[in-house]
Structure 1
Amino acid sequence: MKLSHFKHILGLVILLVSFSTFSQTELKNTVFDTESFLPLESASVYVKNTTIGTITNADGKFVLLVPQKYQSDTLVISSIGFKSYKIPVNEFDNTFDVYLESDVASLDEILLVAETRPKTGNDIVLRALERLSENLPDSSYLQKGFLRHKERNKKEFKWLIESAITLYDSSSATSSEEYLKINVDQVRKSYDLRDVDSLLAYTSYLKYQARNVNLQAKNLKRDTIQTASLVKAIKWNDNRVNGLQNLFQGKLNLLRNSSDSKALFDENILEKHQFELDTVLVDNDRKIYKIKISESSDFINLNTKGIYNDGYKAEGWLYIYWDTYAIKKIEYQLVAASDIQKNRSKSLFDTHLNHKLIITYMEYEDKMYPNYIYYETPKLVNVGYKPTDSKDESNYDKDERYYYTVQEILFTEIILDKEIIEEALNQEWDSDIFSPKPYNKSFWKNYNTLLESEEEEKLIQDLTKRSTLFKE
């Protein structure tokens, strides 16, 4: 089917959905820790027995649109280590803040009672991996979600994309490269004011095309290269480094791709990671293990084509349900560990932290589906003034020179209907998040999105203003 025909059908579907969901209730508030009175970030806010939900931002705030047909259902606000707050949707008061009380289970009691259960962090994780086939989806599904892609230095935003996306996955038992794909449905914002030295991307592009490993950017002259060629190279580099396919089909999709060749969470996981049981918390009235991730005997290598992406050690946390061994949340960081990677990371990025990943899962019909993804990585750019003489540091601003990219995805709907899935698969899919699309006001009026923190919202507004001035 031609793309134009697909867009026409998609437009009709969006129109019908808009009419059916036009009548909605907006729930908004701030969630706090009762003991510290500090805002709770990343608390889950959802309607029970549905896939309608969101999370709180860095300020503890959230906004959630709930269709009228769910007004009598239960709103749940939960966070690992806290007692859940539950109330009917139609009784929720937007004017009163929500406070959650801490809730921790007794680790000694758990270990004493559970004589036949694994007791060490390593054994608990191995059991959880054995249960992946039971806990992850075993049939095809679609997920609707909201993507925010942003690139910034420590001072300001340089690049922002906000999109509505659809994810298709045939099941966790299949190859993600062949049976997992993404479509960009709508674009809300797309601003690009990066001061990127395009010759670096162009050099990498030429090396990729011609396999000329000796080519260097300093040997190229900008005035001899057509702008169209540079744009093509930059787009190639964007997709190579920040494309959604990398995030979903690569090694960092730790659970979904655990059966892939050379996966990070494969049968040899303990050669690259060690796991230590820290404590047992409570999540929505269920006990959950909190397990520390640390380095093991082998370095972690991502084997990214065209990029030295190896020589790391892992840090972070896993949260695993006590009753089913389903993994609820992953907090995972890859830090430079080998001498080569340490030198490379410090020189190019001014940090040893190369990959920061957070994935939370939601349980729906006894299976765990991705709910929220946060991925942060430094970006290779060459901007600003870099001094060659130690005496001339006054004009060098590291806060402007070093960039990093963040991709956040909030999934707001799960579709299991086989007819809808089959119809969607017959359409043409496009995972390019970098190409702008016309703004659809009625669509976004009824679509759940991620609420930014007040600090970052100001930076986004500043980027929007600068982008408008730049275009004029």
Structure 2
Amino acid sequence: MKNIKKSYFLTLVFLLLAVVSFGQTKLTGKVSDFLTFQPIESASVYIKNTTTGSITNADGNFVLKVPQQHLQDTLIISSIGYKSFTVTVANFENGSDIYLEEDVASLDEVVIVADPRPTTGNGIVQRAIEKLPDNLPEMAYLQKGFLRHKERNKKEYKWLIESAITLYDSSYAAGAKNHLKINVDETRKSYDLRDVDSLFTYSAYLKSLGSKSSNVSRSGVKTSALIKAIKWNDSRVNGIENLFKGKLNLVRNSNTVGALLGKNTLNKHEFVLDTILVNNGRKLYKIKIEKGEDFVGLNTPNIYNEGFEPKGWIYIYYDNYAIKKVEYELIAASEVQKRRSKSLFATQKLHKLIIDYKDFDGKMYPNYIYYETPKLVNTGDRSSDRAKTEAEPGFDKDEQYYYTIQEILFSDIIQDSELISQELQQNDWSADIFSSKPYNEAFWKNYNVLLESKEEEKLIQDLSKRASLFKE
């Protein structure tokens, strides 16, 4: 009976999507700096007072599909530190080059005021943390999004999965572990697991089951068993569910024990006020993130994910202390982590995170997430899970580790309690990006996705020739 209800509900949803998408207008353009002519990456492109939006890619290009009912609404293109570009959707000239001018406020003008405001980076960040209950959603909501999960070395993509997801969050006040859910609604993918045979992951998986992990070779591992190992590893390291529920969801999970951006954040971070910028007419503090007295750690089970120092930027609105954007990196700092990182990944930067928020109905909701981390792999036949040394035959440094990259572009926000209740009952609430789903051509034709850069597009086309599961 539940399956019948679910089928009916999903059919109704797709019918509604078809109605909305009928007569859609596709907007395209390129956003660049007015003075340097350099492309502006991650500029926001959205329809005013709606959740319809996208961002520019590394080349500054964007594509946005706009429902017909919004043709007379205002298109806004904005980026932190620039004046916004606005035009009615109906009057936007497709393929336009948009040049944004720099917009920087005076630091003295903003800091020297009569009201008792914090004047240091540490003080401003602490005030922003105190204000999170006011600035984050206090009621349950659903949010639709597009996920691109890719793994690559310096030369090529090894696999790519793109999914439409639904995020449920009961509110900031509730802990994410039991009150935040993710469901993979639709999937299109391109991968060949013969090229993603991480025997390190498989060996660790066997150890977790209490089985022997010595003398493991790719030829002796079934693909189905390898998929189980990859799923297991994602759930504890860099899977989508772990990304949302773990420490790296810095703002949302700041109220949990041991949070990186919690009440004890100054033990491991130093925040230095840099300047005042402007975003779509609102002033923001631009604050540099530096190391504190203690190392940062992620407490990952059975993995040494400790001994880091933080680096990056945090952007906070001046008027209400709402956090607009966080750019956060974790760099190997302890001697143990430095040796480990250099030996395994040939880099000291182990985690790179960008979280951008959008203001909707006076609350800050996720807009875009980017997360990158190296993952140790081992391609080809191997007699053990030990890393090769350069002296050994067949050593290829590019095949020793891949970069795992997750990008999420969020769109529709659903606040209606009845619709939320329906989806909670009907969805399976599985964050399994490997789940087998038939390719839904009509759905993807009308869904706003992240636009690939020219380099990415070429690599994806190359991967599609090697993998049999790719769908246009």
Q: TM-score range by the shorter chain?
A: over 0.9
Provide the residue aligned with 1:328 in structure 2. 324
Aligned counterpart for 1:363 among listed residues 338, 349, 359: 359
- In structure 2, distance between residues paired with 1:201 and 1:30: 41
CA separation of 1:76/1:353 partners in 2, compared to 1, >3 Å: closer, same or farther?
same
- In structure 2, distance between residues paired with 1:346 and 1:31: 37
- In structure 2, distance between residues paired with 1:240 and 1:165: 20
Structure 1 unaligned residues grouped into runs of 5+ = none
CA RMSD across the alignment = 2.2
Q: Quote the offset at 1:424 in angstroms.
A: 0.7
8 Å Cα contact 2:32/2:97 also seen in 1 = yes
TM-score normalised by the chain length of structure 2: 0.93
Q: Deviations over 1:6-53 (max 9, x none)?
A: 244213311222123212111110001001011110000000000110
Provide the residue aligned with 1:37 in structure 2. 37
8 Å Cα contact 2:82/2:104 also seen in 1 = yes
Matches within 5 A, 1:95-106: 95-106=95-106
Which stretch shows the higher mean deviation, 368-377 or 220-229?
220-229
Aligned counterpart for 2:308 among listed residues 312, 337, 342: 312
Provide the residue aligned with 1:149 in structure 2. 149
CA separation of 1:420/1:383 partners in 2, compared to 1, >3 Å: closer, same or farther?
same
Q: Aligned residue pairs: how many?
A: 465
- In structure 1, distance between residues paired with 2:340 and 2:411: 38
Report the residue type matching 1:306 in the other structure: N
CA separation of 1:266/1:368 partners in 2, compared to 1, >3 Å: closer, same or farther?
same
- In structure 2, distance between residues paired with 1:442 and 1:86: 31
- In structure 2, distance between residues paired with 1:229 and 1:338: 35
CA separation of 1:114/1:350 partners in 2, compared to 1, >3 Å: closer, same or farther?
farther
Residues 1:164 and 2:164 are matched in the alignment: yes
Report the residue type matching 1:320 in the other structure: I
8 Å Cα contact 2:193/2:223 also seen in 1 = no
- In structure 1, distance between residues paired with 2:242 and 2:194: 21
Provide the residue aligned with 2:252 in structure 1. 256
Provide the residue aligned with 1:425 in structure 2. 424
SS where residue 64 of structure 2 aligns? strand
CA separation of 1:431/1:3 partners in 2, compared to 1, >3 Å: closer, same or farther?
farther
- In structure 2, distance between residues paired with 1:397 and 1:222: 17
8 Å Cα contact 1:293/1:318 also seen in 2 = yes
CA separation of 1:469/1:84 partners in 2, compared to 1, >3 Å: closer, same or farther?
closer
8 Å Cα contact 1:155/1:400 also seen in 2 = no
Provide the residue aligned with 1:81 in structure 2. 81
CA separation of 1:57/1:222 partners in 2, compared to 1, >3 Å: closer, same or farther?
closer
Structure 2 unaligned residues grouped into runs of 5+ = none
Percent sequence identity is: 62
Provide the residue aligned with 2:295 in structure 1. 299
- In structure 2, distance between residues paired with 1:223 and 1:284: 56
Report the residue type matching 1:346 in the other structure: K
Provide the residue aligned with 1:435 in structure 2. 435
Provide the residue aligned with 1:415 in structure 2. 414
Q: Deviations over 1:66-123 (max 9, x none)?
A: 1111111110000000000011111000132111000000011212235521110000
SS where residue 419 of structure 1 aligns? helix
Provide the residue aligned with 1:461 in structure 2. 461
CA separation of 1:389/1:234 partners in 2, compared to 1, >3 Å: closer, same or farther?
closer
CA separation of 1:161/1:7 partners in 2, compared to 1, >3 Å: closer, same or farther?
farther
Q: Quote the offset at 1:389 in angstroms.
A: 6.1
Provide the residue aligned with 2:278 in structure 1. 282
8 Å Cα contact 2:45/2:56 also seen in 1 = yes
- In structure 2, distance between residues paired with 1:56 and 1:185: 24
